[in-house]
Amino acid sequence: MGFMLSKSMDEKVIKQQEFLLHNSRLQLERQIVMQNQMRERQMAMQIAWSREFLKYFGTFFTVTTVGLTLGAVKRKRPALLVPILPLGFIFAYQMDSAYGTLIYRMRGEAESIMASEHDRLDMPQGTPSFDSIEKVRRARSSLSSLLEK
């Protein structure tokens, strides 16, 4: 009789453990999906910002280029064309950021860094652990209790 009860309890414990594992897995999958969606939204906002900035900077660049060119021709001073060069680099970078392949090149470089220079990604004093966080929490808790007295 006791053996049958024990066997039944063992089966229930195993089923409970499987259920908890399944729920943990579902929760983790949902968190991964949510974090990825947030990352995608942030990237989309960054690209949209680059495109919007490009509109304003493109207008500024065009007006400045036309004005400097007309001024250089009218006054016969080619030195007035010098600011067009650095502004052109900025404009090209913004074009690449908004519509070009900059994001793909950055991703490739990031993957290369993660593969071959992983030591650059280490955090100072290592990755936080439960113990290190708990130690700081306890220190702050004891400090605040001392200050209250």
Domain assignment present for residue 144? The answer is no
Residue 105 lies in a domain: yes
Is the whole model's pTM more than 0.75, yes or no? no
Q: Is residue 6 part of a domain?
A: yes
Question: What total of structural domains would you count in the chain?
Answer: 1
Yes or no: say if 106 and 118 are a contact pair by the CB < 8 Å rule.
no
Inside any domain, residue 148? no
Say if CB 82 and CB 90 are below 8 A apart.
Answer: no
pLDDT per residue as tens digits for the range 93-136: 999 999 999 999 999 999 999 999 999 999 898 888 888 899 99
- Model confidence pLDDT, tens digit, residues 36-92: 999 999 999 999 999 999 999 999 999 999 999 999 999 999 999 999 999 999 999
Task: Give CA–CA dist 139/149, Å, rounded.
Answer: 16
Q: Is residue 13 part of a domain?
A: yes
pLDDT tens, position by position, 1-16: 556 667 777 888 889 9
Residue 143 belongs to some domain of the structure: no
Task: Flag whether 145 is in a domain.
Answer: no
CA dihedral 75, 77, 78, 79 (to 10 degrees): -130
- CA 15 to centroid of chain Cα atoms: 39
Q: Which two tokens stand for residue 84?
A: 């067009």
Q: Which domain holds residue 106?
A: 2-122
| 23 within domain boundaries | yes
